[in-house]
Amino acid sequence: MSRADTLPAAANADAGTARVELGELGTSLGFMMRIAQLRLFERFFERFGGLDLKPGEFSLLWVIHLNPGIRQGGLAHALRIKPAHMTKLIRKLEEQGIVTRHIPDDDRRSVELTLTEPGKRFVEERQADFFGADDYHGNALTRAERLQLAELLQKYCGPDWWHE
Amino acid sequence: MSRADTLPAAANADAGTARVELGELGTSLGFMMRIAQLRLFERFFERFGGLDLKPGEFSLLWVIHLNPGIRQGGLAHALRIKPAHMTKLIRKLEEQGIVTRHIPDDDRRSVELTLTEPGKRFVEERQADFFGADDYHGNALTRAERLQLAELLQKYCGPDWWHE
DNA sequence: TATTGTTATACTCTATAACTATA
DNA sequence: TATAGTTATAGAGTATAACAATA
């Protein structure tokens, strides 16, 4: 054929190899949030891969640490995790000896959560890493930009939803 | 027992019912990106729920629209979708008559993608909605804030990774 | 040998609904 | 009758590795 290293069909100029044009997608919040989250996970595992701890799990421990005796449902709501899923997550942490479940006398349907001593130590030792200003948290951003980014994300959610 | 409506154990003041303290988590990028993305999905389905279209699918069609003849692998890389997953997505869109797969003579391993006429119409008709300044895209933010948010997310990813 | 895409498989996260025990 | 949590089940999204066809 006569088109081996000449142009492909006119309609398909640069088919495949050229840089991909994203247009408005590059400033679309939906797309950018997804991409940024993928990047964040990548960095998380570069940083904490050896720990056998998933991003969401530290959040869980952190909130129990700050709110000892929090009820399982309250935790689920604060973190936007479905109660059915929370049951599994807490069960696992309990088996690992990190979290204690306690059924209070004044409402025996509910479950109150606290960290065990090893659990507390675990959180306190890693707190600086997880909330620190390192690669994972965006070394490409200044401290002010990081804060601004978090605040814009909060504002995107809206106050009604945020404090509901 | 003598503690029915008195205080629970001292350590568990306000167990369960008080407002949950999030501490540094509230300005943690990992947590906030997850929360904001959940909110975005919620809004997406409020807005486009009737369409039987998932958030990622419009992105796919949009990029094919802007890059007719793009190769399947190039699309997968640009959108950070794994090739194995892309196969399934494209297959579905092909069955719906929205996308055409074409195997070029100059490299018969590859697959070039274009939109069908109905596909083009579909994208062009919805483009304003998907990229518009409405509820879904964050009515809580000004136009400038929305742009700034997208740019900070881009910057978080870092230029090396972004254009790799 | 390397590359492009496909198939098969599995694992995580999430969603839903039915269930229990308590209130 | 309502609420807190549990169980069971299913679906979406993604990851991996083995594979076929082509380069």
The reply to whether B66 falls in a domain is: yes
The reply to whether B157 falls in a domain is: no
State residue A162's pLDDT score. Answer: 66
Contact B33, B87 (CB under 8 A): no
Tell me, what DSSP letter sits at residue B60? H
pLDDT higher than 90, residue A89: yes
**CATH code for the domain of B121:** 1.10.10.10
> What is the residue-averaged pLDDT of chain A?
84
- Reported in sequence order, the residue ranges of chain A that DSSP labels E, i.e. its strands, are 70-71, 99-102, 112-115
Identity of the amino acid at A103: I
pLDDT higher than 80, residue B12: no
Mean pLDDT of A59-80: 96
Mean pLDDT of B37-66: 87
The reply to whether B61 falls in a domain is: yes
> What is the distance in angstroms between the Cα of A139 and the nearest Cα belonging to chain B?
8
pLDDT tens-digit series, residues B119-160:
999 999 989 888 876 656 667 788 899 999 999 999 999 877
| Owner of token pair 């979290």 | A99
pLDDT higher than 70, residue B39: yes
Rounded Cα gap, residues A36 and A15, in angstroms: 27
Count of structural domains, chain B: 1
Which residue is closest to D16 in terms of CA–C1' distance? Answer: B84
The reply to whether B8 falls in a domain is: no
The reply to whether B75 falls in a domain is: yes
- Is the model more confident about B158 or about A6? B158
Provide the number of CB pairs (under 8 Å) joining chain A to chain B. 240
Residue A81 beta carbon within 7 A of nucleic strand C = yes
The reply to whether B92 falls in a domain is: yes
Using an 8 Å CB-CB cutoff, list chain A residues near B23. 62, 66
State residue B1's pLDDT score. Answer: 32
State residue A12's pLDDT score. Answer: 39
Rounded Cα gap, residues B128 and A42, in angstroms: 33
- Is the model more confident about A86 or about B133? A86
Mean pLDDT of B63-81: 96
pLDDT band at residue A135, thresholds of 50, 70 and 90? low
- Is the model more confident about B155 or about B14? B155
State residue A6's pLDDT score. Answer: 27
Rounded Cα gap, residues B21 and B18, in angstroms: 9
Enter the tokens of residue A42: 């990548």
- Is the model more confident about B28 or about A12? B28
Identity of the amino acid at B156: Y
* Residue range(s) defining the domain that contains residue B61: 54-131
Q: Which nucleotides of D are covered by protein (CB under 7 A)?
A: 3-9, 12-18, 21-23
pLDDT tens-digit series, residues B100-114:
999 999 999 999 999
- Is the model more confident about B137 or about A47? A47
Phi and psi at residue B100, in whole multiples of 5°? Answer: -115, 135
The reply to whether B39 falls in a domain is: no
> What is the residue-averaged pLDDT of chain B?
84
pLDDT band at residue B37, thresholds of 50, 70 and 90? very high
Rounded Cα gap, residues A64 and A98, in angstroms: 11
Q: How far apart, in Å, are the Cα atoms of A65 and each of A62, A100, A129, B11, B102?
A: 5, 12, 16, 12, 56
| Nearest nt to the A74 alpha carbon by C1' | D4
State residue B19's pLDDT score. Answer: 85
